[in-house]
Amino acid sequence: MPPAAKPMAFLSDIHGALAPLEAVLEELARRDVTDIYVAGDLLLGGDQPLEVWRRLNTSGRLTIELARSLADTALATLPETRLVPRADEDDDEKREAFLATRKAVGALVLKALEKLPTLIRVGLADGREVLVVHGAPRDPGLDISHDQDDDEVTELLGGEPADIVVVAGAHIPFQREVRGVRVVGLGAAGEPLGDEPVAHVVLITPRYEGTVVEDAFVPFEPTPAPPGSPR
């Protein structure tokens, strides 16, 4: 793939919620951004996982690349025998939602989900490189967050060098410079932390005088859950 020379969008944690995804895609179309990268947690947690998958994979003139998180891996591969019911009501609800998501998307989608990469590298026309990953590059089971010190972040970046590292998992948007690496944290597009239904997306524009990294917050209208549907 040739180095990117135009604005790109980065988002994560759609969690099977179609409304925020549609709102983000509409906003990106308004800005004429067609190259999109999604850093995992794609389907589990919402009521429209199959619709989200289809939207991400039938995108018309858009180019959408998907990375796989640990939750995506579990959804695709974890044997049902490992999903033992527990006394904890919250765990039981999560198990039911997990199984409902699997049933909704079907075996072919699960197989495609399993084949997604855990890391995406994007070369920029100015010679820089972007690395996209859901958790930390060194260990996808750990998160990089805004409140860690430089030594902690450097350790979590590990041996996957890049000029810009786009991470998710912590669900809190942030940007920081750590020893020559620009670390960009994505919020959860499908599960905003605050009370307002707003999806977070990051726009990165390659420029020879300095790559521009911009946060965008896109409001959306939540879709009411059908009666009896698992959450």
The tens digit of pLDDT for each residue in 62-114 reads 899 999 999 999 999 998 766 666 656 567 788 888 999 999 999 999 999 99
As for how many domains the chain has, the answer is 1
The CATH code of the domain that includes 17 is 3.60.21.10
Range of the domain at 58: 8-171+207-219
Residue 9 and residue 218 in contact, taking contact as beta carbons nearer than 8 Å: no
Higher pLDDT, 4 or 155: 155
User: Is pTM, for the whole model, over 0.85?
Assistant: yes
Distance of alpha carbon 134 from alpha carbon 39, whole angstroms: 5
Q: Is residue 2 a part of any domain in this protein?
A: no
pLDDT of residue 161: 78
Q: Is residue 201 a part of any domain in this protein?
A: no
Q: Does residue 151 register a pLDDT over 90?
A: yes
The b-or-e profile of 41-56 (16+ CB within 10 A means b, else e) is: bbbbbbbbbbbbbebb
Q: Is residue 215 a part of any domain in this protein?
A: yes
Which candidate, 174, 170, 168, 138, places its Cα nearest to that of 155? Answer: 138
